[in-house]
Amino acid sequence: MNSKMKTLTYSKNIFLPVTNLCRNRCGYCSFRKEPKDAHLLSRSKALHLLEQGALCGCSEALFTMGESPGSVLGFESILANAGVADLMDYLVELCELALEFGLLPHSNAGLLGEEDLRRLQPYNASMGLMLETTARLDAHAQSPGKRPDLRLQYMALAGRLRIPFTTGIMVGIGESQQDRIDALRKIAHLHSVFGHIQEVIIQPLDPKSGTALENAPRPEIMDIRRTVEAAREILPPDVAIQVPPNLVDPRPMLAAGATDLGGISPVTVDGINPDRPWPDEVELHHRLSDYNLRERLPVYPRFIAMGWHGHETRWLVDFLADEDGLRAKKYIF
């Protein structure tokens, strides 16, 4: 391996949508469903996905759900029909199951109170929440949980709790380039205070049929690249910049300063952008053969060294991490 080759990281994960009921009605989202069409991930389905993820060599279980589903009329009956008494208890149970299968949980559960965040922390290698933007946009007019101040407060809470944290911004939902710069500066400030931001995703809009932004133009490659360049200039070097390879050609973004491709899955689709298939891992290595492409865990090496990942995950992190804190080629199954 050429020692001068730039290192580029990614993780292998499975996407587990705990529930798609959500109080927000974002103008670009197809993940959210009405109560009559919403689901709660069953234990049997979760077990099947976790087993498949383990057999395919994944190391990350990405748990996602709509924000504050308990505030949506009809959710209590969904819980009752599934035999679940408390959503957070159930999410903890699913995280414990993931660990049993050799998969490290990473939960993105929307805005949570401190008590719920503390309940999840021990069972998660890292956690996340997209900032998306600091601008007030039409796309968020019916999304009370997308208030920038609330999301920044939540990210600060995660920092005080020393939770390795993933966040990101959206490109193409009505914001300006200055709005993107402002959001990146807010993230950089939080990291300067708490030191907990491990990566920032630069995620372009993927317009979806049936949403308010279905006819919105896709962001231009140069706009995305300019945003990546701004992120690299604003964020400190220890914060990775992630671009999703199923939504954008990574090469121009890597040249602009991106360092990570996020999670790709051999098992599940991108639940947020289901029409955008993941690239094949072997194909990705071939396409980017001039980079030192390394698989990582959902928690970054420096947080492993500091012991910030949840204490229930540490035995598995110790098993799966190599001497660099990246993924060792060891498997539980």
Report the CATH number that the domain containing residue 128 is assigned in CATH.
3.20.20.70
DSSP 330: -
Model confidence at 209, in pLDDT bands (50, 70, 90)? very high
User: Comparing C-alpha atoms, which of 107, 108, 5, 13 is closest to residue 54?
Assistant: 13
The mean pLDDT of 203-218, rounded to a whole number, is 97
User: 117-154: b or e for each residue (b if 16 or more CB lie within 10 Å)?
Assistant: bebbbebbbbbbbbbbbbbebebbeebebbebeebbeb
Contact 35, 73 (CB under 8 A): yes
Q: Evaluate whether residue 304 is within a structural domain.
A: yes
Reported as a single tens digit per residue, the pLDDT across 78-110 is 999 999 999 999 999 999 999 999 999 999 999
Reported as a single tens digit per residue, the pLDDT across 182-195 is 999 999 999 999 99
Provide mean pLDDT across the span 168-172: 98
Of the pLDDT bands very low, low, confident and very high (cuts 50, 70, 90), residue 3 is low
Yes or no: say if 296 and 10 are a contact pair by the CB < 8 Å rule: yes
Residues 6+ positions from 189 with CB-CB distance below 8 Å: none
- Domain assignment present for 330: no
Distances (CA, A) of 139 to 46, 110, 144: 32, 17, 11
**Structural domain includes residue 205:** yes
- For residue 233, being part of any structural domain is answered with yes
Q: What's the token pair of residue 238?
A: 């220890």
Query: What does the pLDDT look like over 313-330, one tens digit per residue?
Result: 999 999 999 999 999 987
Q: Which domain, by its residues, includes 266?
A: 7-320
Q: What is the mean pLDDT of residues 49-65?
A: 97
| Domain total of the chain | 1
Residue 2: predicted pLDDT: 56
**% of the chain residues with pLDDT over 70:** 99
pLDDT at res. 330? 73
The pLDDT of residue 4 is above 80: no
Residue-wise pLDDT for 218-263, tens only, equals: 999 999 999 999 999 999 999 999 999 999 999 999 999 999 999 9
Per-residue pLDDT at 12: 97
pLDDT at 129: 98
Residue whose tokens read 């279980």? 61
Choose among 199, 182, 195: nearest CA to 234. 182
* Separation in Å, CA 98 to CA 22, 105, 221, 222: 24, 7, 37, 39
Asked whether residue 332 is domain-assigned, the answer is: no
For residue 333, tell me if it sits in a domain. no
Kindly state whether residue 265 falls inside one of the protein's structural domains.
yes
State the pLDDT confidence band at 1, using cuts at 50, 70 and 90: low
Arithmetic mean of pLDDT, 264-268: 97
How does the average pLDDT of the chain come out, rounded?
96
102-151 pLDDT, tens per residue? 999 999 999 999 999 999 999 999 999 999 999 999 999 999 999 999 99
Is residue 229 one of the residues assigned to a domain?
yes
Candidates 130, 159, 5; CA nearest to 67 is 130
Structure confidence at residue 317 (pLDDT):
98
